[in-house]
Amino acid sequence: MADTQVSNNSAVIRELQGRGVDQATGTFGNHTVRLSGAKPLRIDKIKPDRIPFQGFRTATRIARGAEGLGQAAAKTLSVLTQSGKLDARALLGAIRTAHEYTQRLGKLGTDAPSSALELFAPHVEGMTNLELAKAYQMLATTDADLLMTALVHEGRSNPEASDARRCAETLFDLQALLLKEVRNRASRAVLAREAEKEPGNADLYAAMAPKSLTEQYAPLCQGPLARQAGGDLGSGAMTALVEVAANSATARGKGAAETSAMIKGRKFGIFSPKEAGDMLRAA
């Protein structure tokens, strides 16, 4: 594959260019993906992170496996909420580690999560509003778009690329969970305000609240993980940031390069010039 093209598939090139993804974002082909500024990453066979010794006794292996699975899920979300560019290697490594722990727990006869929705639901529900917005924004970047497209293309064209197929499925499920949790929180905030205006109908508004992710996708889980206290966004600000990210991804194909060039070199805190350009254009 030549580095002058984002892919060696002309149909994929046109599809990506329509979403503002070009060779400046990165390239993929020959079972690898390379994001701009990063080393090529193999995607047909994705290595999990190192898994420590799990013990000899079945009970010990189950306990350590469950702990490791939770840590892998938490790391996946942590990678998505970090500042700067997407760390594709760390992201796929964490996801594959979660898959590995899930398989091991299943072989031990435990009720391991049967899907990414079940695994990540309590973790997503336990995120702060700021973390939710940052994670969704990361998955709306051109880097994430290219990575997910490369995984899907590899999974479809290579029968042996089960790792790529599973990681792609997990990322799409995770993106859906993040958006659903944003909508759940926004809906609850609206209903809470209406209940304050009409105390007599408080029970009615409470009954209209959407089910939690844990209730819907992980009923066997004891509940969401605790959120960090203090310094969080309000539900309105969180929703606005997510909508900006979604709108920017839709409109990115028109003028993305020009907008980013205009603000290149300026400092925007947690946002890169590309992300800031997307936000300004959507606004």
Closest CA to 232 of 140, 123, 122, 127: 127
Instruction: Confirm if 78 and 49 have CB atoms less than 8 A apart.
Output: no
Element (H, E) at 166: helix 162-197
Domain boundaries, given as residue ranges, for the chain:
10-282
142: its two tokens? 């051109």
113: its two tokens? 């999560």
Of residues 283 and 30, the one with the higher pLDDT is 30
Q: pLDDT-based confidence at 88, cuts 50/70/90? A: very high
Q: What is the CA radius of gyration of the chain?
A: 20
CA angle in degrees (0–180, nearest 5) for 245-130-226 = 135
Residues with Cβ within 8 Å of residue 159, at least 6 apart in sequence: none
Closest CA to 41 of 29, 50, 33: 33
Q: pLDDT-based confidence at 51, cuts 50/70/90? A: confident
Residue-wise pLDDT tens digits, 234-267: 655 556 555 555 555 555 555 544 444 444 444 4
Backbone angles phi, psi at 42, to 5 degrees: -70, 135
Q: pLDDT-based confidence at 229, cuts 50/70/90? A: very low
Predicted pLDDT at 26: 83
Closest CA to 227 of 91, 82, 77: 77
Instruction: Give the mean pLDDT of 65-73.
Output: 91
Query: E strands, the chain, where?
Result: 26-29, 32-35, 41-42
Backbone angles phi, psi at 96, to 5 degrees: -65, -35
**CA 139 – CA 171 distance, rounded (Å):** 9
Share of the chain above pLDDT 90, in %: 29
